[in-house]
Amino acid sequence: MPIATRAMTTSRKKPQPSLVAKKQPAQQRATETYERILEVTAQTLADVGIERLSTNLVCERAGLTPPALYRYFPNKYALLSELGQRLMQAQNARVDRHMTLEVFAGGLEALEHAMEGLILDTYEATVQTVGGVWIMRALRAVPALQQVRLASHAAVTKEQTELLVQAFPDANPAELQMVSRIVVELVYATVEMIFDEPLDVKAVARTVAGMIASHLTRIRPDAAPPRKATGQAAARR
C-alpha cells in the first residue's frame, strides 16, 4: 500500500459507537429490566467512574447476562447517552422555574437572584441524580456523547432566546441568541467547576449570577453605551 494511502487510511476517524437503545420495553417486566439496567449503570458509574465502567460489570451487578443487556443497549455509550439525556432533562426543567418575563422586568437585583437560584438548582439536580457528576463529566469528556450535551444546550438556548426576544423586543435577535447560548454554557460550566474544586457553592453561584445579570441588563438598546453595531437601534429606541 502506498505511503499516502496508508496515511489517509490511518487518519480516518473511527466510527462513532451507536447511542440508540436497540429496543424500547413494551411490557412491565421488560420496563423493570430496562430501568434496572440504568439504575445499576448509574450506581456503578458513581462507584468506579467512567474509565472502569463496562457492560460486563453492569451485568454482573444487575444479575443479568450480557445478551439480556444487549437486547436494549448495544454498548456502554448507549447507557451513558440515556443517563445523560435524563440528567439534562432534570437540569433543564429548573430553567423555567427561575427565568421568566417578570424576572427580566424586575431589574438587576431580581435577575441576579434568579440566576443564582438557577445555578444552585441545577447543581442540586445533579447532586440528587445517582452518578450525576460522573454522567455530566462523561457528556463533556467522551467524544461520542458530545451531541447529547450540545443538543440539550441548543434546545435550552432556543427557549431562552425566545424569552429574551419578548423581554427585549428592540434588541438585536442575533445578539440575544448568542447571549443565550453563552449563558447556557456558563451555567453548566459553573456547575461542573463546583464539583471539580473545593469552592463555596453559594459564593460561586452568586458571583457568576452577578456577572451574567450585569450583562443582561445592558442588552436593552437604550441602556447600552453607543456602539457601531447597535447605535442605530439605540437611536430608534
> Does residue 181 have a pLDDT over 60?
yes
Q: How many C-beta atoms surround the C-beta of residue 117 within 10 A? A: 17
Q: How high is the pLDDT of residue 12?
A: 56
Question: How confident is the prediction for the chain on average, in pLDDT?
Answer: 87
Distance of CA 38 to the CA centre of its chain: 19
> Does residue 4 have a pLDDT over 90?
no
* pLDDT 10s digits, 116-134: 999 999 999 999 999 999 9
What are the cell numbers at 221?
Answer: 438598546
Q: How high is the pLDDT of residue 17?
A: 72
Q: How far apart are the first and last CA of the chain?
A: 67
pTM: 0.83
> Does residue 227 have a pLDDT over 60?
no
Give the Å distances, CA to CA, from 108 to 102, 105, 156, 217, 218.
Answer: 12, 9, 22, 6, 10
Mean pLDDT of 208-234: 66
Q: How high is the pLDDT of residue 30?
A: 87
Q: How high is the pLDDT of residue 18?
A: 64
Integer Cα distance of 133 and 191 in angstroms: 9
Residue 155 near residue 85 (C-beta atoms within 8 A): no
> Does residue 225 have a pLDDT over 60?
no
Q: How high is the pLDDT of residue 232?
A: 43
* pLDDT 10s digits, 105-116: 998 999 999 999
Q: How high is the pLDDT of residue 219?
A: 82
